[in-house]
Amino acid sequence: VGKPFNQAAPIIHTFNNNGYECFFVGGSVRDYQLKRPIGDIDLATNADPYTVQRLFDRTVPVGIDHGTILVLLGDESYEVTTYRTEGEYKDHRHPEQVFFVENIEEDLSRRDFTINAMAMGLDGKIIDPFNGLQDLKLKRIQTVRYAQDRFSEDALRMLRAIRFSSQLNFSIDDEVITAIKENRTLLEAISVERITVELTKMFGGMGVGKALDYLNETSLYQQLPIFGMNENVFSLVHEQLSEPIADAAVLVAYFHYMDPSISISTWVKAYKLSNAVKRKATIIYEAFDKHQEQGLTKGLLYQLTYEHIQPWNDFVRFVAGKSYVLEELYSMYDQLPIQQKSDLAINGTDLIRLFPERKQGKWISDYLRELEHLVLCGELQNQKDTLEGQVKAWNQTGQN
């Protein structure tokens, strides 16, 4: 097994030396078989959570009620979950209680899809009671046991099926599609936060075009915030989006572009995204608007700042089909006379000191904004004397 697994080997050894089993499970096993980059490494054991805490020096009881302990090792951390099944499901979401079980096969049977229901030992041997390996070969999303039952237990799994089909570029089994069609309204029971996680991953996957087809074919999109209320915006996205968009802010800007009558803020609220996403989406969209009118200007790059240049350029490509060479944008940005307000050779304190007789107020930021503009477009050198001379002249002529 590869490096990320070997790094976790001491954990498995500790369990084994104390008479317990421990295996790699879930996404990391799947991605390792597919030779995809490995994300988080999760482990399953027959030791109970208190034993897990006792066996390791550094642990965090992140989900002790459902058997999950975070084990810290070096600068990595691993979720270690006691073998469990799930009790009765209420409301088509989380189970009422969980039950710890004896063997790994039982634990694997509670998992959503066959490709996610494999375990692997340190020797690389796979435990695969539901033929996940075969489905990996066939590039197929198939539920563990009956799709009907599994979706009615936890309705989020319907969206997860489509999310994995996008990320892995797999097809969804016909029986699974039928079960999504029949159970789609159950998605109403699921919290927006969990929906947002899956949907964001879906839009970031290589197979996003196919995933949108599935959302359309199953009508599952009708259960999604905004898309469900506004058929038009879904069909526009469905028809036009063929490339993955992995950045939530770019995604929101893109949706807003598709139907400008739905504001960025409406999207952010409906999907409970953060203020940081809202701010970033707004910056990207405003820069796009400005670019439509004025083309690529120094002011535009300055307004974007370094961190938003790439997502903005991606956005331009998503909506216009072509974009700039990123290195050229960065080199133009590097050559700007100033990159941010604080690069100005003069600041608010300097202005107050220059004109002690003036009452502090809006004139300070007005002066600074004007200086910023003149320095940026090359009309003024960014030197203290020059800038002081300019504001003195303005002050004399009574400007501001």
Residues binding ligand ATP (CB under 6 A): 26-27, 39-40, 42, 111-112, 116-117, 154, 156-157, 201
Joined together, the tokens standing for residue 288 give: 């796009």
- Please choose which of Mg ion, ligand ATP, none residue 211 contacts, taking the beta carbon within 5 to 8 angstroms, the exact cut-off set by kind: none
- Based on CB atoms, which residue is closest to Mg ion, 80 or 233? 80
Q: How many CB atoms lie within 10 A of CB 308?
A: 19
- Based on CB atoms, which residue is closest to ligand ATP, 223 or 313? 223
Edge-to-edge strands of the sheet including 126-127?
A: 59-63, 68-73, 76-82, 42-45, 22-25, 119-120, 126-127
In the bound state, the residue with its beta carbon closest to ligand ATP is: 27
Size of the site for Mg ion (CB under 5 A): 2
* Binding-site member from 2, 40, 72, 76 for Mg ion (CB under 5 A): 40
Joined together, the tokens standing for residue 38 give: 């490995």
Choices 36-44, 45-53, 310-318, 391-399 (CB under 5 A): range interacting with Mg ion: 36-44
- Based on CB atoms, which residue is closest to ligand ATP, 111 or 278? 111
Q: How many CB atoms lie within 10 A of CB 285?
A: 21
Find the shortest distance in angstroms from Cβ 365 to ligand ATP: 45
In whole angstroms, give the CA distance from residue 44 to residue 28: 12
Find the shortest distance in angstroms from Cβ 153 to ligand ATP: 8
Q: What single string gives the DSSP state of each residue in 231-274?
A: HHHHHHHHHH--S----HHHHHHHHHHH-TTS-HHHHHHHTT--
Choices 14-22, 35-43, 86-94, 120-128 (CB under 5 A): range interacting with Mg ion: 35-43
Using DSSP, state whether 13 is helix, strand or coil.
helix
Is residue 63 a contact point for Mg ion (CB under 5 A)?
A: no
- Based on CB atoms, which residue is closest to Mg ion, 27 or 204? 27
Find the shortest distance in angstroms from Cβ 81 to ligand ATP: 9
In whole angstroms, give the CA distance from residue 131 to residue 118: 8
Q: Which of residues 224-243 bind Mg ion (CB under 5 A)?
A: none
Find the shortest distance in angstroms from Cβ 395 to ligand ATP: 59
Rg (CA), the chain: 27
Find the shortest distance in angstroms from Cβ 113 to Mg ion: 13
In whole angstroms, give the CA distance from residue 1 to residue 21: 18
- Based on CB atoms, which residue is closest to ligand ATP, 167 or 390? 167
- Please choose which of Mg ion, ligand ATP, none residue 154 contacts, taking the beta carbon within 5 to 8 angstroms, the exact cut-off set by kind: ligand ATP
- Based on CB atoms, which residue is closest to Mg ion, 40 or 76? 40
Q: Can you give the length of the chain in residues?
A: 400
Q: Are 81 and 112 in contact (CB under 8 A)?
A: no
Find the shortest distance in angstroms from Cβ 219 to ligand ATP: 21
Find the shortest distance in angstroms from Cβ 268 to ligand ATP: 23
Is residue 204 a contact point for Mg ion (CB under 5 A)?
A: no
Find the shortest distance in angstroms from Cβ 210 to ligand ATP: 17
Decide the pairing of beta strands 126-127 and 98-100.
unpaired
In whole angstroms, give the CA distance from residue 181 to residue 261: 30
- Please choose which of Mg ion, ligand ATP, none residue 128 contacts, taking the beta carbon within 5 to 8 angstroms, the exact cut-off set by kind: none
Q: What single string gives the DSSP state of each residue in 128-190?
A: -TT-HHHHHHHTEE-BSS-HHHHHHH-THHHHHHHHHHHHHT-EEPHHHHHHHHHHGGGGGGS
- Based on CB atoms, which residue is closest to Mg ion, 46 or 116? 116
Is residue 27 a contact point for Mg ion (CB under 5 A)?
A: yes
- Based on CB atoms, which residue is closest to ligand ATP, 71 or 309? 71
- Based on CB atoms, which residue is closest to Mg ion, 25 or 177? 25
In whole angstroms, give the CA distance from residue 80 to residue 49: 9
- State the residues that interact with Mg ion by CB under 5 A: 27, 40
